[in-house]
C-alpha cells in the first residue's frame, strides 16, 4: 500500500491546478437566485402548456396513514429493479418483503423493449415462488369475496419520463440515465410489462403506473400520518434525480382546468431533471459538456447531468484525468484502473471521500484511492486535491438541488398559507407515534456529529437486514431533519420527503441544499427553518403500493 508523503514542495502546482478546476464548479448566491427564478417560470409554463415537465400524476389525494392492504410493487430505477410485497398496516407503518436485481446492461440499451420487460417478469415469477402469499393475505387479490379470483394487484414504479393519461397508465416520452430502448418510446410501460407477465401465465395485473418521486411523496405522507397533510413534496437524488409536489388543480391548465375548489389538489411529477435544457441559467464546465456529448441523450436532462449520482463520479473522473495528463500529479495508475473507463467512478466513492475527510483520516483516504483507482505513489497532496475536486462537484449539485426545491416551495404558495385539505376528511387517522429526533440543520459541529452518527447507525442496520435480499420490517422514517423545535407551529412546517444515495450518505448534502435555499429572497433563513426534510427510504416501491390501494378504493 502507498504511504502518505508530506513533502508538499514536490509538486507546488497540483493544488493550484485543482483549485482552478474547483472554481469552475462554484455556484454563487446570484446563480442560485437565477436558477430558482428561472425554474419557477418553467414550472408555471409546464402547468399551462404540454411540456415534458410538470406532468400530472392523476393522484388527487395524499395518504393519511390509515390505508391498509397488501400489494405487489415493482420499482424500476436507474440501475436496479426491486420487486416488493408491501403490507400497509393502517397506522402509518408498513412491512416490505423485497428483492433487488441489477438490470443487465444489454437490456438497458436495446432496440426492442421485450428483453427488458421479459427480464422483469422472470424475476417477478421467481419472487412469487420464493415468497408465496401467506394465509390471511387474500386481500392482495381484492377486498371482497367476489374479488378473490382476480389477479394480484401490482403498482409499477417506472422512473423515466412518461406522460400519464390516468392512474393506470401513460406513454413513455423518452429515456434518460443512459438508457436507450427506441422501440419502447411512445408506448405504455404498464402494457409492455403486462405482455411479459401474461407470457409467463402469472396471476398478476398491473393496475397503476407510478413515478418514483410521486411514490416517495406518498410514502412520506403515509409515514407522517398527520390529520392534515403538511407533506408538500419529495425529492430524489440518487442514480437520477427528480421531484414531485402537491399543486392546486385550478393551476393545472394543461388539463383544461378553468377553476375548481380551492382545496382540490393533484400531485405533479416535475421531471426537474430536464428543466433548463436550453442552458439559459445552468452552470457549465468543459466536463459537463463532455458528459453530455458522450451520453445516450445529448442535449437533454441537463439539470440531472449536474446533480444525479450517475454523473458526479464521472465529473470527478474527468477532472482527475485532466490533472494526470497535465503532469500535475506523480500518481501512477494500473492500466486496468477505473480512472480510464467511462463511468468508472461511482458516486459512492465521493461519499466515502467526504466521510473520511470529516474524520481527517489521511491514511484511510490514501488506501481508498489506492484500492478504488489502482493508484500508486498517492501522497497527502494528492488526497487534498482529490477531496477538493470531489467536494466542489457535490456541493454544486446540492446547491442546485436546493435552488430547485426553493422553486417548488415558491410555486406551491405554501410559505403563505396552511397546507391544503388534501387528505380524505372521512378517513379516521391514526397519528404516527414513532420517536423522531428533532434537529437543527447541520450548521454546527454537534449537528454534523449527530448526522454522521445517524449515517453509521443506518449502515449497521443495512448490514444486518441485508437490503439486497428479501427484507421485512416496520418502517421508521430515519434521520428526519426537522426545523428547530418551537420555531413555528406544526401546521406551518413544510414537510419534504427525500430518497437517494446522495441525500442519505453524503454528509453535507442537506446542509448545502439548505444554504442555497437561504440565499433565495422568497425563502430566506426564516422560510428555510420551516422546512423539514425526512428520509423516505426506498419510498418509490411503497408509493406504488399506495397508488394501487388508491386505485382499488376508487374502483
**Are both 78 and 37 inside the same structural domain?**
no
H helix and E strand count, the chain: 17, 15
Identified catalytic residue from 92, 159, 347, 501: 159
**Are both 235 and 310 inside the same structural domain?**
yes
Please indicate whether residue 422 is annotated as part of the active site.
Answer: no
Burial of 138 (0-12, 13-18, 19+ CB in 10 A): middle
Residues near 449 by beta carbon (within 8 Å), at least 6 away in sequence: none
Q: Which residues, given as ranges, of the chain have pLDDT below 50?
A: 1-12, 135-139, 141-143, 227-228, 258-259, 419-486
DSSP 322-354: HHHHTT----EE-TT-GGGSTT-S-HHHHHHHH
**Are both 180 and 126 inside the same structural domain?**
yes
Largest separation between any pair of C-alpha atoms in the chain: 80
Q: Does the residue 77 lie in any domain?
A: yes
Identified catalytic residue from 51, 174, 187, 458: 174
**pLDDT tens sequence across 212-256:** 999 999 999 999 876 445 789 999 999 899 999 999 999 999 988
Write the CATH number for 263. Answer: 3.40.367.20
d(CA 465, CA 337): 32
d(CA 235, CA 503): 9
Grid coordinates belonging to 436: 423522531
Grid coordinates belonging to 298: 445529448
Confidence (pLDDT) at 256: 80
Number of domains in the chain: 2
**Are both 524 and 550 inside the same structural domain?**
no
Please indicate whether residue 118 is annotated as part of the active site.
Answer: no
Confidence (pLDDT) at 257: 55
Dihedral sign computed on CA atoms, order 288, 294, 296, 297: positive
Grid coordinates belonging to 266: 393533484
**Are both 37 and 77 inside the same structural domain?**
no
Helix, strand or coil, per DSSP, at residue 191: helix
Grid coordinates belonging to 300: 437533454
State the residue for C-alpha cell 413513455: 172
Confidence (pLDDT) at 487: 61
Confidence (pLDDT) at 131: 85
Confidence (pLDDT) at 260: 52
**Are both 299 and 181 inside the same structural domain?**
no
State the residue for C-alpha cell 437490456: 107
**Are both 113 and 35 inside the same structural domain?**
no
DSSP 380-442: HHHHHHHHHHHHHHHHHHHHHHHHHHHHHHHHHTGGGSPPP--S-TTS--PPP---------S
**Are both 45 and 76 inside the same structural domain?**
no
Residues near 426 by beta carbon (within 8 Å), at least 6 away in sequence: none
**Are both 273 and 309 inside the same structural domain?**
yes
**Radius of gyration of the chain from its Cα atoms, rounded to whole angstroms:** 23
Q: Which of 274, 258, 297, 231 is nearest to 43 (CA)?
A: 274
Q: Does the residue 446 lie in any domain?
A: no
Identified catalytic residue from 212, 276, 479, 499: 212
d(CA 64, CA 539): 15
Confidence (pLDDT) at 440: 29
Q: Does the residue 327 lie in any domain?
A: yes
Please indicate whether residue 254 is annotated as part of the active site.
Answer: no
Q: Which of 347, 444, 441 is nearest to 394 (CA)?
A: 347
Confidence (pLDDT) at 427: 31
Range of the domain at 116: 68-213+546-554
Confidence (pLDDT) at 361: 87
Confidence (pLDDT) at 89: 93
Q: Does the residue 106 lie in any domain?
A: yes
**Are both 133 and 265 inside the same structural domain?**
no
d(CA 107, CA 109): 5
**pLDDT tens sequence across 69-118:** 999 999 998 789 999 999 999 999 999 999 999 999 999 999 999 999 99
Q: Does the residue 388 lie in any domain?
A: yes
Grid coordinates belonging to 374: 489502482
**Are both 345 and 316 inside the same structural domain?**
yes
Grid coordinates belonging to 82: 426491486
The helix or strand, by DSSP H or E, that contains position 60, with its residue range, turns out to be: none
Whole-prediction pTM value?
A: 0.82
**Are both 200 and 303 inside the same structural domain?**
no
Amino acid at each position: 500500500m502507498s504511504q502518505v508523503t508530506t513533502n508538499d514542495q514536490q509538486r507546488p502546482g497540483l493544488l493550484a491546478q485543482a483549485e482552478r478546476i474547483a472554481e469552475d464548479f462554484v455556484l454563487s448566491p446570484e446563480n442560485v437566485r437565477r436558477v430558482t427564478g428561472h425554474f419557477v417560470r418553467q414550472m408555471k409554463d409546464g402547468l399551462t402548456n404540454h411540456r415534458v415537465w410538470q406532468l400530472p400524476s392523476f393522484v388527487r389525494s395524499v395518504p393519511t396513514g390509515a390505508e391498509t392492504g397488501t400489494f405487489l410493487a415493482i420499482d424500476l430505477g436507474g440501475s436496479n429493479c426491486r420487486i416488493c410485497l408491501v403490507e400497509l398496516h393502517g397506522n402509518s407503518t408498513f412491512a416490505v418483503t423485497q428483492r433487488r436485481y441489477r438490470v443487465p446492461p444489454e437490456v438497458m440499451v436495446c432496440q426492442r423493449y421485450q428483453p427488458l420487460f421479459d427480464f422483469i417478469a422472470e424475476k417477478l415469477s421467481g419472487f412469487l415462488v420464493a415468497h408465496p402469499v401467506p394465509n390471511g393475505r387474500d386481500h392482495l387479490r381484492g377486498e371482497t369475496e367476489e374479488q378473490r379470483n382476480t389477479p394480484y394487484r401490482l403498482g409499477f414504479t417506472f422512473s423515466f419520463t412518461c406522460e400519464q393519461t390516468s392512474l393506470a397508465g401513460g406513454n413513455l416520452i423518452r429515456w434518460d440515465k443512459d438508457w436507450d430502448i427506441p422501440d419502447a418510446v411512445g408506448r405504455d410501460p404498464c402494457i409492455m410489462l403486462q405482455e411479459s407477465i401474461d407470457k409467463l401465465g402469472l396471476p398478476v395485473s398491473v393496475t397503476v403506473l407510478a413515478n418514483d418521486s410521486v411514490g416517495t411523496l406518498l410514502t412520506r405522507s403515509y409515514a407522517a400520518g398527520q390529520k392534515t397533510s403538511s407533506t408538500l413534496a419529495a425529492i430524489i437524488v440518487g442514480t437520477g434525480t427528480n421531484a414531485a409536489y402537491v399543486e392546486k388543480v385550478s393551476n393545472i391548465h394543461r388539463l383544461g382546468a378553468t377553476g375548481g375548489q380551492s382545496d382540490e389538489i393533484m400531485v405533479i411529477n416535475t421531471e426537474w431533471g430536464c428543466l433548463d435544457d436550453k442552458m439559459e441559467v445552468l452552470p457549465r464546465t468543459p466536463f459537463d459538456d463532455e458528459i453530455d456529448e458522450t451520453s445516450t441523450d445529448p442535449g437533454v436532462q441537463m439539470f440531472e447531468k449536474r446533480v444525479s449520482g450517475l454523473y458526479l463520479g464521472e465529473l470527478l473522473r474527468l477532472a482527475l484525468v485532466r490533472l494526470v495528463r497535465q503532469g500535475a500529479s506523480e500518481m501512477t495508475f494500473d492500466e486496468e484502473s477505473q480512472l480510464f473507463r467511462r463511468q468508472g467512478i461511482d458516486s459512492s466513492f465521493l461519499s466515502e471521500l467526504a466521510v473520511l475527510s470529516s474524520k481527517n483520516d489521511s491514511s484511510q483516504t490514501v488506501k481508498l484511492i489506492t484500492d478504488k483507482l489502482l493508484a500508486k505513489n498517492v501522497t497527502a497532496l494528492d488526497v487534498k486535491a482529490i477531496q477538493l475536486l470531489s467536494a466542489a462537484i457535490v456541493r454544486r449539485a446540492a446547491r442546485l438541488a436546493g435552488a430547485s426545491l426553493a422553486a417548488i416551495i415558491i410555486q406551491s404558495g405554501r410559505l403563505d398559507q396552511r397546507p391544503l385539505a388534501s387528505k380524505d376528511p372521512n378517513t379516521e387517522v391514526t397519528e404516527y407515534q414513532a420517536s423522531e429526533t428533532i434537529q437543527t440543520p447541520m450548521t454546527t459541529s454537534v449537528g454534523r456529529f449527530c448526522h454522521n452518527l445517524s449515517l453509521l447507525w443506518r449502515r449497521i442496520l443495512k448490514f444486518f437486514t441485508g437490503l439486497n435480499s428479501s427484507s421485512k420490517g416496520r418502517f421508521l422514517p430515519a434521520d428526519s431533519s426537522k426545523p428547530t423545535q418551537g420555531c413555528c407551529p406544526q401546521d406551518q412546517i413544510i414537510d419534504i420527503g427525500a430518497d437517494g444515495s446522495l441525500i442519505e450518505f453524503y454528509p453535507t448534502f442537506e446542509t448545502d441544499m439548505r444554504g442555497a435555499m437561504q440565499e433565495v429572497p422568497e425563502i430566506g433563513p426564516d422560510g428555510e427553518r420551516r422546512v423539514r426534510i425526512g428520509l423516505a427510504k426506498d419510498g418509490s416501491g411503497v408509493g406504488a403500493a399506495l397508488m394501487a390501494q388508491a386505485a382499488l378504493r376508487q374502483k
